[in-house]
Amino acid sequence: MISDGMLVVQSGSGTLQFPVDQVDAITALPAAALKQTLPASSAAEVSHATAVDILVRAALQEGLEPEFVRSVAMVESGLHQEAISPKGAVGLMQLMPTTAGQLGVDPQRSEQNALGGAAFLRRMLIRYNGNSALALAAYNAGPGAVDKYKGVPPFPETRRYVVKVLAEYARQQRAQTEKSLQAEKAGPGTSSEDALRAETAKAGKPDGDHTAVQR
């Protein structure tokens, strides 16, 4: 805006003023500069999308359904890598440092955190013959507790956890089915998640090595 021979520029909650005869041109900021001024909500959306891709890749690499691994991460951390529990569990999949060490991953790095969590889930699913409730109980309370009680331990926290993850898993499966139906109606086109599935299927584990999840 020009007022009394001055160019008035809005800056935050205030303004900057420049003599008009000293302004040669006004140029738009490059995209890189604009990215630094994204509102918090946009940054959160980008972070969420990145977390989903990381979890999908980790799940497929371990031969698991992405919806199952993502459901665990959603309940564990809300898909936040910076989450740290009062007991010291870290990241997307809330890995304890000792567990991460046994799995050979760095829990502070999101990709390794997701891969470590998916690998541990796979181990538990194999251990309990694909029984997702027992695998989740072992993820939450440890396999020792599941073996001791010969089933889901009678801990309220663990029982709530198993129910929450399975409910989220069912919700995500419904969402994936609806998404697939919509994609069929829309015609050719591949989502980023579908591309990850295809890419991992080519380079990852063979079809026969995938772990079934029983609800």
Burial of 72 (0-12, 13-18, 19+ CB in 10 A): buried
What's the DSSP call for residue 109? Answer: S
Alpha carbon distance, N-terminus to C-terminus of the chain? 63
Q: Comparing C-alpha atoms, which of 74, 104, 67 is closest to residue 178?
A: 67
Give the sheet arrangement for strand 14-19, strand by strand.
Answer: 2-3, 6-11, 14-19
Q: Three-state SS for 81?
A: coil
**Catalytic residue check, 67:** no
Which among 67, 76, 168, 193 is annotated as catalytic?
A: 76
Residue 79 CA: distances (Å) to CA of 12, 56, 99: 32, 12, 19
Encoding tokens for residue 105? Answer: 């991953």
Helix H or strand E segment including 9: strand 6-11
Q: Which residues are known catalytic residues? A: 76
